[in-house]
């Protein structure tokens, strides 16, 4: 009886204390959060895996301190807003139409500011062969960034250790062990994935994964999510994990976790 009578008082006291604490501003800073902005070109109306960007943000928020937009934005390559944030996510499963001059111009302005683009092939072959989207996307990026050639990036690249220590790239399909990237000014500005990363992230409203991950199942999906987290961290922290202060720790960890 006595405990029951004290309960309202305790609640009132707790409420008062809560009210007196400095108010965190949860919305403050959202503009600077990671936004896996979907890039649309030509006749594209959305990403190949519609739920993947939001899931990407959700996983990032759950696993790291990085803020992310749970409702990612969408931008067309010829819109002025293309330069409003430093990241773009371009995915597809069919050939993209040649970019218009306005789209080329928009992407060039984006890259000139140092933006990062992930090109995610949603329909690669089982061995990671580029689909029509992958081939056409590379063709169009070559028009945007003339004289820039993609190079493979593997576990030695900072993308593979920005948060998780990863040994290879994986997505919905295992694909090649490396990603490819166009490196400009020391920064990987365009990252090509032939692993359908969005396919591993896509999750339906019912909470079920939309696509099976082959051949590794849930373990491979987890590694794909980790790669997505690392790419987001690369966007936010660039080459932070290349700093000398991290080197001895990371080398020791790599040695401990075995080949």
Partner 1 sequence: MLSTHLGPSGDLAPWAVWLAVALAAASLGFLFVEMRRRERAGALIAGTGLLAVAALLAAVLRPARVSARESVVGARVVVLADASRSMALEQDDGRRWQARDRAIAAIARSAPNVRLSVLGFGSGPPAPLPLSPDGDAGELTTRAPHSALGAAIRALSSSAEERPAAVVVVSDGRLDDPPEDASDATLEALGAALHVPIDAIATTRDAPADASVRRVSAAGAAVAHVPLPLTVDVGCAGGLACDEIAVTARELRDDGPPTLLASGVAHVKDGKASLDLTITLERAGARIVEVAIAPVSGDRIPENDRRLVTFDVARERVRVLHVAGRPTNDVRALRQWLKSDASVDVVAFFILRTQADDVRASQNELALIPFPVDELFSEHLPSFDAIVLQDFDAQPYGLEKYLPNLERYVRGGGGLVMVGGQNSFVAGGYAGTPLAAVLPVDLDGSAGATSADTSPFVPEWTTEGRTAPLLAPLRDAIGDDLPQMPGANVLGELRPGAVALWSHPSRTTKSGRKMPVLAIGEEGDGRTVALGVDGAWVLEFSSLGSRTAGRGHGALWDGLLGWLMRDPRFEPAQVEIAGGCTAGLPSTLRVRTLPVEATSGDQKLVLDITRIDEKAPPVHVETSRPADASSLELPLPALPAGGYVARLRVPGGATTRYDFACEAGGDEWADSRPDIARLERLARASGGSFVLAPDAANLPLPKPTVVSAERHVTPLAPPWMWTLAATALLGVHWVARRRSGLA
Tell the smallest beta-carbon distance from residue 90 to partner 1 (Å). Answer: 17
Q: Which residue has the tokens 């501003």?
A: 25
Tell the smallest beta-carbon distance from residue 108 to partner 1 (Å). Answer: 10
Using CB under 8 A as the criterion, which residues of the chain lie in contact with partner 1 when the complex forms?
A: 19-34, 62-67, 80-81, 83-86, 109, 112-115, 161-165, 222, 226, 233, 235-241, 243, 245-246, 249-250, 253, 256-257
Residue whose CB is less far from partner 1, 4 or 26: 26
- 34 Cβ partners below 8 Å, 6+ apart? 57, 60, 66, 67, 68, 69, 87, 232, 235, 236
Among the listed residues 194, 184, 66, the one whose alpha carbon sits nearest the alpha carbon of residue 134: 194
Residue whose CB is less far from partner 1, 48 or 54: 54
Residue whose CB is less far from partner 1, 63 or 135: 63
Tell the smallest beta-carbon distance from residue 51 to partner 1 (Å). Answer: 20
Secondary structure element (H or E) that encloses residue 153, with its range? strand 151-153
Structure tokens at 53: 């960007």
Tell the smallest beta-carbon distance from residue 194 to partner 1 (Å). Answer: 24
Cα–Cα distance for residue pair 169/163, rounded to 1 Å: 14
Residue whose CB is less far from partner 1, 45 or 257: 257
Cα–Cα distance for residue pair 58/73, rounded to 1 Å: 14
């Amino acid at each position: 009886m006595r405990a029951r009578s004290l309960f309202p008082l305790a609640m009132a006291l707790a409420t008062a204390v809560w009210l007196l604490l400095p108010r965190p501003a949860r919305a403050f800073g959202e503009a600077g959060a990671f936004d896996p902005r979907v890039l649309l070109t030509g006749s594209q109306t959305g990403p190949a895996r519609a739920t993947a960007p939001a899931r990407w943000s959700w996983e990032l928020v759950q696993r790291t301190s990085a803020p992310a937009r749970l409702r990612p934005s969408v931008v067309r390559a010829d819109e002025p807003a293309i330069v409003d944030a430093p990241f773009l996510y371009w995915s597809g499963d069919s050939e993209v139409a040649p970019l218009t001059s306005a789209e080329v111009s928009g992407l060039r302005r984006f890259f000139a500011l140092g933006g990062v683009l992930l090109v995610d092939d949603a329909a690669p072959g089982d061995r990671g062969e580029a689909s029509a989207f992958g081939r056409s996307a590379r063709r169009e990026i070559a028009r945007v960034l003339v004289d820039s050639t993609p190079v493979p990036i593997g576990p030695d690249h900072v993308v593979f250790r920005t948060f998780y220590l990863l040994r290879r790239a994986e997505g919905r399909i295992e694909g090649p062990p490396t990603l490819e990237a166009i490196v400009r000014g020391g920064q990987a500005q365009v990252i090509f994935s032939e692993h359908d990363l969005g396919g591993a992230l896509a999750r339906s409203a019912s909470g079920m994964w939309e696509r099976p991950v082959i051949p590794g199942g849930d373990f491979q999906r987890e590694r794909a999510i980790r790669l997505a987290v690392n790419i987001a961290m690369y966007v936010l922290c660039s080459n932070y994990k290349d700093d000398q202060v991290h080197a001895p720790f990371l080398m020791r960890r790599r040695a401990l976790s075995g080949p």
